[in-house]
Structure 1
Amino acid sequence: MALLKDLSETSKIMLKWLLIFIFAAWLLGSGVLIIIQKADIILQYILGVLLGGVFSALKLVLMERSLSKSADMQSVRSSGYAAAHYVLRYLLTVGVLVLAMIMRNTFNFFGVIIGILLLQFSAYLATYEIKKKDRQKQAEKML
């Protein structure tokens, strides 16, 4: 839990939306699989979404920490540090996708991709939520 305490408010909001989306993807995907009569892969799909979602949360934490550290560095070192961590996160993503392909009997590849992409949706909604809160604060100040 100390890991979550150190996160910014934006990252906490993104994690909240990520968890909501993971749950929604589980329900929606499981429902679709039942409808198209592929119920035998529901567990693999759920595990895939979970792997992708947990990995997305880890990437978010790594991104925030690297950006926070690079903000405290000198300009020349900062850009190299940020670029190295970007490449590291990219390679980790490739690694998770390769793991999902190797362990295709355990993880549904499509579910892993959905779990990884959920971070982008949570970022959009977190931005919307933060802007909405800011507008409400500004409206309260005007009154």
Structure 2
Amino acid sequence: MGLFGGSSHSSSNSTQNTTTYNLASDGDNNGVMVGGTSNTVTLTDHDAVAQSMKLAQAAMDSAEESADNVMNYGQSALNTVQGGFNSNLQSLETIQARQTNTNAQQLNLLKSLAQSQSSGGGSDLLATVKEMMLFFGVLVAVVIIFVAWRMS
């Protein structure tokens, strides 16, 4: 019996499980440490490589399109210059032909003037006499034909 006349009984039961993991880093682990058992670790670039490949392809496509545009612009500029050159060349040919014709006419006039001057105007008179004789000859022929027709 106890001191104060009552009886008591107590019992205690406890269990403590302590698991200790010692994690140590040895070598190049890229800053990743995983503790525990049956863990699944997934490393991902979050699609960075695929996206960078798409970006590189887009850059190549853009560069190709830009190069095509530059080539087309250059070809257009060359065609414009060539068209202007051809037009200018044709204009020069036309001017040269007209000048040649004008020079020939002026040369003929100078020859005629020189002949007239050297003959004292006789070459002009001779040309006029030739034209009058031709006209008179045609007139006589027409009269003879008309008279012959009337007589028949």
Instruction: Point out which structure has higher relative CO (alpha carbons under 8 A, 6+ apart).
Output: 1
Fold-level match, TM-score > 0.5?
A: no
TM-score (norm 1): 0.26
More helix by share: 1
Structure index of larger Rg: 2
TM-score (norm 2): 0.25
